[in-house]
Amino acid sequence: MSQTSSPPNRFRLSVGDLTQLVHGTSRSEDAKMMVEGFASLGEAQKGDVTFYTDVKHAAALRQTKATVILVPEDWESEQLGVAFIRVVSPTAAFDLVVDRYGRQAPAFKAGIHPTAVISDSVTFNAAKVCIGAHAVIEQGAIIGDGATIGASSYVGHDVTIGKDTKLHAQVTIQDGCVIGDRVILHSGVVIGADGFGYEFEAGRHRKVKQRGIVQVDADVEIGANSTVDRARYGRTWIGAGTKIDNLVQIGHNVVIGRHCILVACVAIAGSVVIADYVVIGAQAGIAGHVTIGPQARLGARCGVTKDLPGGQSYLGFPAVPAEKEKRKLAGVSRLEKLNARVRALEKMLEKLA
């Protein structure tokens, strides 16, 4: 049995019952086969269920030791000696299995740890929030029902935290910031640190005061050790449903639209505007005061120096439409052969001279 299916994740389920769980279809002769765990194609062992979605994993599919494989509905079966369950989305179906039988996060349990430090002026219902050890909540804060404030987290003066929002351990939310409902902030997130603003005067850097806030709308998730700086004035604003990976830096007065995806190590300078449904790949950098249109897609390590229209894919530094960058890279890859041809022609000309 694979490591992923060892206790406490061990279970025992027939293929017939598994088919019902994932809303799929399978062969009747496989219905009584038993599944006892789950794993990836490469790690699965006898008794495991796994999933297959992409032809680039075809080699792993042929070599897998899994007992059951979740496959797309239109997949043509290969005779691998295993059972198949056809589903609309193998990834989503596999998630159903993991959600049901994988390790479960601790359920919400209201309560306030005796070491938490909470100002008398905080607005909250003690019977409907969970506040962990050594958390600090300052004057004027408002904590919504169902919220969790993790151990050693800090909630500054006049902060608002919405319903069912979860702060993992050691999250910091500085004064005045507004966090919506059902937001998830992972450990090390800092919301509302000063924006990075200085004016060079008389031979030294003068700090520009940052008096605005950060607003994080509903259903946003921000990964570990990411930072969202407060605005110089007004607000830095993260739109509803946006998902931000670990180690992302968002500068002051940035506006990010709804349902965007920002992958690890993205860095966004101040006053950038990012429209809805934008995807930004890992390690991309965006210069200040530019606008990125809706549904734009930025590849990893893009360097954005000017406004980009929406609905396109971009690559490179400076970022250009993906097809243009691909043609440039293809040309570069041919330079060695081109140089060799030029040298050969030069030698021929020398002989003719």
- Strand positions, DSSP E, 6-47: 13-14, 34-35, 37-38
Indicate which residue of 23, 157, 186, 252 is catalytic.
252
What is the DSSP pairing of strand 320-321 with strand 313-315?
Answer: antiparallel
What is the b/e burial string over 176-207, where b = at least 16 CB atoms within 10 angstroms of the residue's CB? bbbbbbbbbbbbbbbbbeebebeeeeeeeeee
Q: Which long-range contacts (CB under 8 A, 24 or more apart) does 105-111 make?
A: 108/146, 108/148
Listed in sequence order, the DSSP H helices in the chain are 15-21, 58-63, 90-101, 322-333, 335-352
123, 143 Cβ separation under 8 angstroms: yes
Please say if 252 is a catalytic residue.
Answer: yes
What is the b/e burial string over 33-70, where b = at least 16 CB atoms within 10 angstroms of the residue's CB? bebbbbbbbebbbebbbbbbeeeeeeebbeebbbbbbb
What is the DSSP pairing of strand 221-222 with strand 184-185?
Answer: parallel
Summary count for the chain: helices (H), strands (E): 5, 38
Within 10 Å of residue 299's Cβ, how many Cβ atoms?
18
Which residues on adjacent β-strands are paired with residue 227? 190, 249
CA–CA separation, 68 and 89 (whole Å):
15
Burial of 337 (0-12, 13-18, 19+ CB in 10 A): exposed
CA–CA separation, 204 and 353 (whole Å):
65
Which residues are part of the catalytic machinery? Answer: 252
